[in-house]
Amino acid sequence: MEQALEDFLHRWQNNLSFELKSSGTTGKPKIFKFSKEQLIQSARSSIKAFNLHASSKVLLCLPLSSVGGLMQLARAMVGNFNLYIVNPSSRPLEQFNESFDFVSMVPTQLHQSLRMDAFKLMQIDKILIGGGPMNDALLRECWKEKINVWHSFGMSETLSHVALRKVSPIESKYFDSLPGISFSVENSCLVINYPALQIHQLKTKDIVELVDSHSFKWLGRADNAINSGGFKIIPELLEEKLQQHLKIPFFITGVVDQKWGQTIGLLIESSNEPDMSFIDQLDFLPHETPKKYFWLKQFKRTINNKIKRNATTKMVKDADWRSI
């Protein structure tokens, strides 16, 4: 962390460009370059959205190689915050007895903090979660402790979040844009306009339900969509319904089928063959119901513990899937 901090400060003080590498969740990682001015613009949007000020106490607990860590440091520089820095770990609050105004974490850090440092979490005014989805179990824990949590929507190429969704203690279904950012839709996928960052008509592969130009409901990824007998199925919507029945890591993927083109496959992370009897309890339409399943001891994951769907699915491309 010390070397990364020195590199950041050198670039910041000398107005040099900053590089970010995408997570590689959906494919080969890409490298994006940003100017100091772009970091400043993004930081200002976040500072305004969270109503932070010069006396705010902020914790940096993410790697500076990630967009979340880079931008947390940039916000501290722009906002002149009281910044506390700790090496990234699954328990970022372990060594602190401080109460913070603003902390940015990934879901695994939030999960461990809820287990081991719940009281400290309750002292934080605003908690931003990014870098991966929040499942129902994690949300319920947040509600139980009544902590203030926002879920971010963004990517490396947008230099952190472009939209926020309050998820605890009261959950909103919709993401709302940050100041100066607007949205549209093309082929059911979100298009982002962010003039302050010179981003115009950035086409994503995120399938959304657009409420208006500043608000949307996220449904899933177009590159994960399954075509089964003419039905377009969004795996993430099925996964949301399955979370209450399956408490171990899993995801939905398409399995080649001679009759239907693709059928619904359930890929599960488990050391032993999972019990699939819960399938009979599902109130799913016939074309939505999983027809095949397979299990792996370990999924492919990013540094932030996000499942690499494509890479994991390739591991079982020629596997002998079990029928349900």
pLDDT score for 230: 85
pLDDT value, residue 131? 86
Tell me the CA distances in angstroms from 229 to 233, 236, 265, 280, one per residue in order: 10, 19, 14, 22
Region 5-17: what's the mean pLDDT?
92
**Residue with the two structure tokens 């339409």:** 285
The predicted pLDDT at position 282 comes to 87
Beta bridge partners of 295: 268
Q: Which residues pair with 149 in a beta bridge?
A: 127, 168
Residues 193 and 229 in one domain: no
Give the number of domains in the chain: 2
Q: State the CATH number of the domain containing residue 245.
A: 3.30.300.30
pLDDT at site 110: 95
* Final residue before a domain boundary, out of 179, 199, 221: 221
Span 291-315, pLDDT tens digits? 999 999 999 988 777 899 999 999 9
| pLDDT(52) > 70 | yes
Mean pLDDT of 207-213: 97
- Asked if residue 209 and residue 71 are part of one domain, the reply reads yes
**Domain end: 194, 221, 248, which one?**
221
pLDDT at 104: 96
Is residue 91 located within the same domain as residue 118? yes
- Same domain membership, residue 238 and residue 209: no
Judgement on whether residues 208 and 245 belong to the same structural domain of the protein: no
Question: pLDDT tens, 217-238?
Answer: 999 999 999 999 888 899 999 9
Residue 160: give its domain's CATH number.
Answer: 3.40.50.12780
Same domain assignment for residues 63 and 108: yes
Query: Looking at the structure, do residues 202 and 256 belong to the same domain, yes or no?
Result: no
- Report, as an integer, the average pLDDT of 46-68: 94
Q: Which of 188, 221, 254 is the last residue of a domain?
A: 221
- pLDDT recorded at residue 24: 64
Give the range of the structural domain holding residue 168, as residue numbers without chain letter. 2-221
Q: Is the pLDDT of residue 323 over 80?
A: yes
Please state the pTM of the whole predicted model: 0.87
CB distance 204 to 189 below 8 Å: yes
**Does residue 129 sit in the same domain as residue 252?**
no
* Pairing assessment for the beta strands 149-155 and 126-129 based on DSSP bridges: parallel
122-145 pLDDT tens trace: 999 999 999 888 888 899 999 999
The contacts of residue 54 (CB under 8 Å, 6+ apart) are 79, 80, 81
Instruction: Enter the tokens of residue 258.
Output: 């001679």
Within this chain, do residues 247 and 113 fall inside the same structural domain, yes or no?
no
Between the CA of residue 234 and those of 28, 50, 205, 251, 260, what are the distances in Å? Answer: 22, 32, 12, 11, 16
C-alpha 321/C-alpha 317 separation (Å) is 9
- Say which residue, 269 or 229, is predicted with more confidence: 269
Residue 263 corresponds to which amino acid?
Answer: T
What per-residue confidence (pLDDT) applies to 214? 97
> Binning pLDDT at 50, 70 and 90, where does residue 317 land?
confident
Residues 178 and 267 in one domain: no
